Structure formats: structure tokens, C-alpha cells
Structure 1
Amino acid sequence: MIFRTLAVDKQTKARCGELRLANHSISTPVFMPVGTQGTIKTLTPQQLKETNTKIILCNAYHLCLRPGEKIIRQSGGLHKFIGWDGAIITDSGGYQVFSLTGLTKVSDNGVEFQSPIDGTRMFLTPERMMQIQNDIGADVIMPFDECVPYPCEQDKAGVAVKRTVEWAERCLNAHKNKQQTLFGIVQGSVFRELRIECARKLVEMNFEGYSIGGLSVGEGAFLMNEVLDYTVDYLPQERPRYLMGVGFPIDIINAVERGIDMFDCVVPTRNGRNGCAFTSAGKIKILNSQYKEDKESLDKTCGCYTCRNFTRAYLRHLFLANEILGLTLISLHNIFYFQNLMQQIRESIMKGGFKDFKAEFLLKQSE
């Protein structure tokens, strides 16, 4: 992996760069749609390409449960299995293991839990998670980490940081596929000293990139931005920074302002499936009665397939009729909107006008 910075905003920490992986070149800041099970819900890979998406996120934990890494490996790797020739990043699933499964026992060695699919008892270790991700074959992979909920006692968060650091080192040692880029994950909840301690120890291990995990879990925008303000300062300038699980457009802009390069979130597709569209003038809830006879497109400034071809009235009709096409069309629009937003952010940084871009964005959203 090669990462280079192309421009830095003079008034903030915002930066524009290029991330070169083994077979892909990606402009940053970048948004990565979430395809947990190896699919961006309701969209085909071809539709996704039309949104100018270059990289997606899948979840190794979910994929090892079903269909299993063996099937993916025998199919020629994750790219071929899901029919996506863009870049892929896999999350190790630390967050999911600790929040979504019937967790029964966690130790320094790993996590024992019950499969939410068939109830099978399972035991995941850092070494096992590296084997799974090496077999799956994504371009960028994540170490196994312990993500605590919010709120969390500082002592508990401290134990999780110690375990996260130890597991990160074990993942480094177990990582066998050198065509894949391995990031470290900074944990520590909202405790400054824990975040800094975790960042420093991970930097000593010399990861190729650094993720900031354990945010957007209920702490609110103020605390999240505060954590980013001081954590970024302890991460290397020459390595990419990835904020996991964020977010809404304003959260992304605020994080870019603080020096973040990479984002993933279910927000555009989850909102799309619920009839909520992001537009240049704010969110539209398509089921509202005011759109019953509305012949306008979702967003007059948008060039996506949905906005070029369909009215708000038609989209509302699809949702009322429980037609799957409605979910597809608004999800498609939302991802296009997010990718266009990232393009505008990159251009504003390159031109030296990021602060003005942010101010104009906020003004339009409040009109």
C-alpha cells in the first residue's frame, strides 16, 4: 500500500490524498458503502459502479458464519464471489461479536460465543480472524479488537484497550497474505489518556493505516469530535486514517475537518430502504403526503439514475405499494449523493476552500 497526501487545508486538518492498493487507486477522503454480507442491500455491483463507488466494506465475522471462508476461498476470493472488481475492506467483526451475539465468555485469548445463525458454540481468536480474512482476500483488513459500549466505566475501557493492543500485535504476527493491507484500530471510548495510549502503542507496531473505532455508539457529536481532535494528532501523517461506522453527512464533514481520510456507514442504504433521501437541500421523507403529486425529482442538482428518470410522486407510490424498486432507487440515489459529497469535499480541499464549502453546506441544509 502507498498513501500520499495531495493537499492540506490551511485552516483545518482536512486533507486530500491518494490511496494505492495492490490493484486499486482511491482518492481520499473516501466513503465506503457497507455490504456486510457481501452485498450492498438492494443494489447490484453494476448499479454501485454507477454511483462512482471505488471501495466497499464487508464483514469477515458475518461471512465466516455464512457462507464460510472456505466457500469464498474456493470461489476465487471475495471479489469474484460477489462479482465486485473494485476494492474491498473487511472489518474483523469485533464490534458485532461484542454487541450482536450471545456472548458468553471473553478472555485475553479470544471470544467464545453462540452463533446467531444456528446456535453453534464458536471461539474466535486474533489468529483465527487473520486466517479468515487472509482466506477471504479483501484488499484491506482489520485486526480483532474489543469495542466497548457507551457509556462505559474507565476501568472497563482500559481493560479493552490493553486487550486490543495485545490482539493487534498477535494479528500482525499471524497476518500471512502480504498483498493485503492491515490497519490498526484505536479504542479507548471517550477517555483521552486511553485513546492516546492505544494510538501510541499501535503506532509503535508500524501498521500501514490506522482506524478509529468505538465511536458513533451513542456518545454524541460533541464527544466524538473531541476524541478525533486529540487522537488524530497521535497518528502518523503519512498513513491513512479511517473512522469506522460514521456517518451522516455533517459527521463526515466534521471528521474530514479533523484529518480523517476514510469512512464507512450503513446510513445511506438503511435510510434509503426506509424512504429517506439525502438531498442538497436536506433530507426528504418520501412517504410524507406532500409528495403525493410532486412531479419534481428527489434533487434537482443530482445526476443519478433515480433523479434523471423518476418523480417524487412515483417513488412515494412504490413505497406505498411495497415495491422493492422503491428501496433500490432511493438507496441508489443516497449512495450517489454521498459519493458526490466526497468529490465536492476533495475539490474544496484541493482549491483551498474547505471552510467555505462547509459553511455553504450547513447553510443549504438549514434553508
Structure 2
Amino acid sequence: MGRDIARLHHVGHVVGDLSSALERYRRLGFLVAPPSYPAMARAEGGEPEPFGAANTHADFADGFLELATPVREGDAVPPDANVVPLTAPPEVLPVIVERIATTSANLAACLDRFEGLHILMFSSPDIDAVATRLTASEVGHGGVNTVRRPVETEAGTVAETVRYLEIDGAGTRPGSVEEGRVGVVADLDGEIQGSRSSEHPNGAIALMEAVLCVADDELTKVVARYERYLGAPVRPDGPAWAFDLDAGRLILVPASRLEELLPGERAAVVPAMVACAVGVRDVFATEDFLRGKGFSLGRTTDGAPFVPSAEALGAAIVFRSV
């Protein structure tokens, strides 16, 4: 039987200034579109208005890197932004509005901690089975939410259905755990996602890893927590612990050993997602590209180049050959 969580869906980089972040990611060699601002009527029959989180993606065939910022009341929508209307059945509209508003508040709280990676979403071929398993394992979550949004494809405008759940931590805001927003999304529609995927100038083609740094004395507890989330075993991996998915992996590293994994890196706070890794076709060409753009490169203990967090808005970005 296959796993009900198969891969990394996306990681989210929460930033204070989305326009500046777009410029930085483009210099890093990622193709990122103008930001999208979701809009939704707060009540049945009302006018859609932007709220929640504005975002954009660096897309791959099976996942993406997200840039996100909370939308605050009165924020001006940039002229190049895409306003994306979301719809939901009337009977669940109040719940969806509440959950999206909560997500925005959680992103604002994330920025109060630090600018960097705060979102970790896994992909599932059967999200309803995940919800059932989490409930049986006494993992709190807000249930499976469903929203629909229009997407432009070569065949015209189609409605994309997004189904997701967010995990609720003990003693944290609803829809969040200590390290940020963690949850599960139903597998991407391959045809729709394929229409978004692009050839990134840095050669990136896949999301491969997320790295979570935790306090040494909390490591055992956090490992056990993610065993329950993922329904998968963990294994030792040098200075860290790894959850291997069908595609991609999650790395947990104690704070005292982070520099063994990523020399020169330190977590501002713990727990925190401190890095992600993307797969590239030609790592040597990627290194040349990044140096040509003025980035300094570190090197992981297993030899992969990475852009330090100080140059990538608070999150180290590792580039691995695939």
C-alpha cells in the first residue's frame, strides 16, 4: 500500500516586502510571476475583496517554492498583481473565510519571529485518508478545506480545485504549529501544474528538501511529532534525522549541529525551517550562474552548493544535482 503522504508539495518563504523578494528570487534565477492576491466575498452575495495572503510561486512539475506575505486591511494591490477570485459553497463559506483570515494572521505572526521559511506543506494522493489518520493519532487539524480558483491554460480558463488541511499545534494559533504553518494538500493536477512549470535560468527543476532546526532538548519530541504527521519512519542521517518520502525528504537537525550540515548557518530562533533544497540539471552551470549574479556560495557537508540565508532573505537555498 502506498503512503498517504508522498512528497513535498511546497515550502513557503514569508517576506515583509513582496516586491523586493520578487527581485531577489529572480536574481537567484527563479522564474516567478507577478503576485496573486486572492479575493473572496466575506458573505454570500457580497463583493470579492483581497484578503488572506498574497503570493507567487517558482513552479516545478510536482511542487513549488512560494513567496508569501499577509494582506493587511488597506494594503494597496500592486498594478501588476493578479486578483484571483476564490469561490466556495455557501454552506462552508463562513468556515473558509475564517480559515483564510486565520492563515493571514498566522503569517503576520511568522514575520514577527523572522523573515524566512514558515510554511511546509506535504502532498497527498488521498487527503481524506490523511485527515482520518491524523484524527485517529490525536493530531489536531482544521479538517479538509476546499476552494476553487480560475486558471488560464492553453485550453482556456479552467477551475482548479485545491483541497488542503492545516495542522493545529498544542498551545499555538489555529492552523499553526511552533515552526509555522504545516499541513497537507491534495496532489497537484499534473496538467494544470505542467502549464505553470518553466525553465528556470538557474536550472532548478524540483523541490527536494526542507530543513527544520530544533532545540537539542526538543529533538526527540519533534521527531515523534513528525512521525505522527507523516505516518513514516525516520532514519539517522549524519548530524540530522531524515524522513524519506516517495519524492523529496524532510531533514530535522538539532541546533548544536546545524553548522555541520550547513557550515556558517545559525538559526535565529528554534524551532525554525532554515533551508530548502532544489534539484538542478547541471549543478556546475548553476554555480556559475549564481556567482555571476554576485552571490557567495557555501557548501553543505555532502558537497552541494548553497546560497547563505544572509543573502536569501533569511533562508539558505541548497542546489542539488538530480
Calculate the TM-score normalised by the size of structure 1: 0.30
Calculate the TM-score normalised by the size of structure 2: 0.33
Report which of the two structures shows the higher radius of gyration computed on alpha carbons. Answer: 1
